[in-house]
Structure 1
Amino acid sequence: MGKITCELYEKQAPLTVANFVGLARGTRPAQDPKTKKWDKGKKYFDGMLFHRVIEGFMLQTGDPTGTGTGGPNYFVLDEFDPSLRHNSAGLLSMANRNPVDPKTKTLYKDPKTGQPLGNTGSSQFFVTVAKTPHLDDRHTVFGKCDTKVATKISKVEVTTNPALRLDHRPKEDVHLRSVKIERRK
């Protein structure tokens, strides 16, 4: 469908950017969900599906299983920078296990330990196609992307079967062909 170019916010989200770059280049080890072996040297994102696409909201990828439940078997600390708000389309943000209860606006707690759940991002990320202020301080913003292709992807026909965990999955697969990292001055 085209090329999406993004600028990464290394100063504001150094851990998230380092993780993303390491996975993209294949220098960060990740556990294969099928074999359970740790793999280093494989460009993690190449060929992945956009498994969740919501028109007027966002498109999400970064899950090797294509289900929205997979990842590299580790987590990255949240990095909420007050200067980075979900105030425009094209924001590159880390997906997570939604640690905030929308009713109480407090972190969910682990039922065994009572500790707040947070810091659950790893490899799944999304690009917004609209302002999404309800995501502020819930998802780490770590870059800004052009929106032309993202908007086009956000308009593909999707499934609507939440019972099968397939809600918002494109009916025809849309793949992230590759991620290329370039340092610019």
Structure 2
Amino acid sequence: MLKKISLLLLSAIFLSACTTKPISPLVDDDKVLVNNQTTNQMTPTSTPPTLPISATINTSLGPITLELFPNKAPLTVANFVDLSTGSEGKDPFYNNLIFHRVISGFMIQGGDPLGTGTGGPGYSFADEFNQGLTFDKAGILAMANSGPNTNGSQFFITLAPTPHLNGLHTIFGQVIAGMDILEKIGNVEVGAQDKPIEDVVIVSINVTP
């Protein structure tokens, strides 16, 4: 199934170099931000399989296991799986990236290859909102963005209910194991722009169909 998901992504995107603008101050502690970047647009051409998928984010502080929702956010899940596992001879995208923004009681954010909030995979794709998915608890996995239809590689996991994010960010999974690790990351010491003083690293992400 992972091969099918990768084929979907390969047929749906054209990668280009990512040109970023200077970093903007991240001063909104109740928002999930991705600073503006110029990208190609990714458009789905088919729907990936709807079988359950789980992903384990192996962090430097321990593992967090997620249930993904391919039947409710197919393109977003396909993108996350492809970046997690690598495709066409590419290394897994997320390996050794950091959680670059952590706000206690709100969320942890990662998936930026630059570690600054400005990076991405070189493309963007549309939002996928589902009325049955809301930010009603801790452990919700969703895409960070810089506005409508600007999803790329950056994602976040909530540390508490955040209903003000409903309709603004695509939800595509939830934590099913490792809430203690999530909370541990959420309580690390941070400095400027909510960046952890000591790097919290995404060592790898294992995807299980």
Q: Which amino acid aligns with 1:123?
A: S
Residue 180 of structure 1 is matched in structure 2 by 206
Provide the secondary structure at the position in 2 that maps to 1:181: strand
Alpha-carbon RMSD: 1.0
Residue 162 of structure 2 is matched in structure 1 by 132
Q: Deviation string for 1:105-164 (max 9, x for gaps)?
A: xxxxxxxxxxxxx100110000101000011110000000142211110000000x3xxx
Unpaired runs of 5+ residues, structure 1, are 29-39, 100-117, 162-166
1:119 to 2:179 alignment: no
Residue 25 of structure 1 is matched in structure 2 by 85
Equivalents in 2 of 1:149, 1:48: separation in Å?
17
Residue 64 of structure 1 is matched in structure 2 by 113
Equivalents in 1 of 2:125, 2:140: separation in Å?
19
Residue 155 of structure 1 is matched in structure 2 by 187
User: Alpha-carbon deviation of 1:86?
Assistant: 0.3
Equivalents in 1 of 2:188, 2:157: separation in Å?
15
Equivalents in 1 of 2:159, 2:149: separation in Å?
24
Equivalents in 1 of 2:181, 2:205: separation in Å?
15
Q: Deviation string for 1:71-90 (max 9, x for gaps)?
A: 01101210010000000100
* Within-5 A mapping of 1:8-47: 8-27=68-87, 40-47=89-96
Equivalents in 1 of 2:208, 2:87: separation in Å?
15
Residue 104 of structure 1 is matched in structure 2 by none
Equivalents in 2 of 1:119, 1:178: separation in Å?
27
User: Alpha-carbon deviation of 1:7?
Assistant: 0.4
The structure whose residues are more often strand, as a share, is 2
Provide the secondary structure at the position in 2 that maps to 1:142: strand
Equivalents in 1 of 2:163, 2:128: separation in Å?
16
Unpaired runs of 5+ residues, structure 2, are 1-60
**Aligned residue pairs, count:** 147
1:75 to 2:133 alignment: no
Structure 1 residue runs of 4 or more that deviate by more than 2 Å after TM superposition: none
Q: Deviation string for 1:23-70 (max 9, x for gaps)?
A: 111027xxxxxxxxxxx5210001101000000000010000000110
Provide the secondary structure at the position in 2 that maps to 1:51: strand
Q: Which amino acid aligns with 2:109?
A: Q
